[in-house]
Amino acid sequence: MLLPENPAGDYADAQIDDYGKLPRAQFPWRPPLRMEVRARASHPAASLTTSADDMTVLRGTAGFGFWNYPFSVRGDVLMLPEAVWFFYAAPPSDMALVPGVPGWGWKAQVIHSMRPGALLATLPTALATVWGRVSQNSAPAARWLQRLSGAREALIEPDITDWHSYSLEWRAGEARFWVDGNLVLRAPQPPTRPLGFVAWLDNQYAVATPRGVLRFGATPTVAQSLTIDSIHIQPL
């Protein structure tokens, strides 16, 4: 998947998926299953010190795995996000969903927003966000934002520009992620609804922070790519 040089920052996306025009109820994958992808990127992942205008790192977002296509452009009803995947984002993205984990970087990630407990967290999250703006203490809002999103994340340390084997097992009670056979994340209570497979590279960014900032857009890029050597998905 290749994005050409794009100095103007016009929206660009290179993607493969298997859900096409299917309604969400007919998305093809649900637990238990195992996925293994061998992949590498053309540029290194953003780090804690990467600035929003750094063109030497992989820009935008990228990844592979399973999601519910919540932000539909084909006229579907918008949904809260559900995902079990390997996910990358570069600044200016800042999706601070888990306390102590940066809002960007190369991650193993589970998001489970469509669950009964998420509704109960809506009002406390809003109140904690207001309190965070007044007090300059966003820690309570960060905890409530995690409860709202059902997110579990772990940063991936191996260099994204090298070939690596990325695998996950998605079961009803737990999702586990490995890089080159090394366990990087165990996430209890993942989504169980049908999800679709997607692998992509785009130049989008998203900001969603405990301080109540919500913003989306597209960024300039140099030519960049995400190369996938193989994809294996097997029901268990």
- Cα-based torsion angle of the residue sequence 170, 175, 180, 184 in order, rounded to the nearest 10 degrees: 170
Q: Considering only CA atoms, which of 68, 60, 64, 62 is closest in space to residue 28?
A: 68
For the cut 70, the answer to whether the pLDDT of residue 137 exceeds it is: no
Quote the pLDDT of residue 76: 53
Banded pLDDT at 182 (limits 50, 70, 90): very high
**What pLDDT score does 210 carry?**
56
Q: What is the pLDDT of residue 235?
A: 97
How open is the CA angle 229-163-14, to the nearest 5 degrees?
Answer: 50
How confident is the model at residue 135, as a pLDDT? 38
The domains of the chain are located at: 2-235
Instruction: For 171-213, list the strands marked E by DSSP.
Output: 174-179, 182-188, 196-202, 204-208
DSSP 97: -
Residue whose tokens read 């967290």:
121
In this prediction, residue 234 carries a pLDDT of 98
Nearest to 91 by CA among 100, 109, 104: 104
Structure tokens at 91: 């600044």
Mean pLDDT of the region 13-28:
92
Q: What is the DSSP string of 12-40?
A: -EEEEES-TT--GGG-SB-SSEEEEEEEE
> Pairing mode, if any, of strands 152-155 and 174-179?
unpaired
Percent of the chain residues past pLDDT 90, beyond the cut: 66
Q: Quick one: which of 140, 178, 164, 154 has its CA closest to 35?
A: 178
pTM here is 0.85
Q: pLDDT tens for residues 42-64?
A: 999 999 999 999 999 999 999 99
Q: Please identify which residue in the block is written with the tokens 């056979």.
A: 181
| Six-digit token string for 130 | 């207001």
SS3 of residue 139 by DSSP: helix
The reply to whether omega before 28 is within 30° of 0 (cis) is: no
State pLDDT tens for residues 89-123. 999 998 887 888 898 999 999 988 755 654 443 43
The listed CATH number (2.60.120.200, 3.40.630.30, 3.40.50.12240, 3.40.50.150) that belongs to domain 2-235: 2.60.120.200
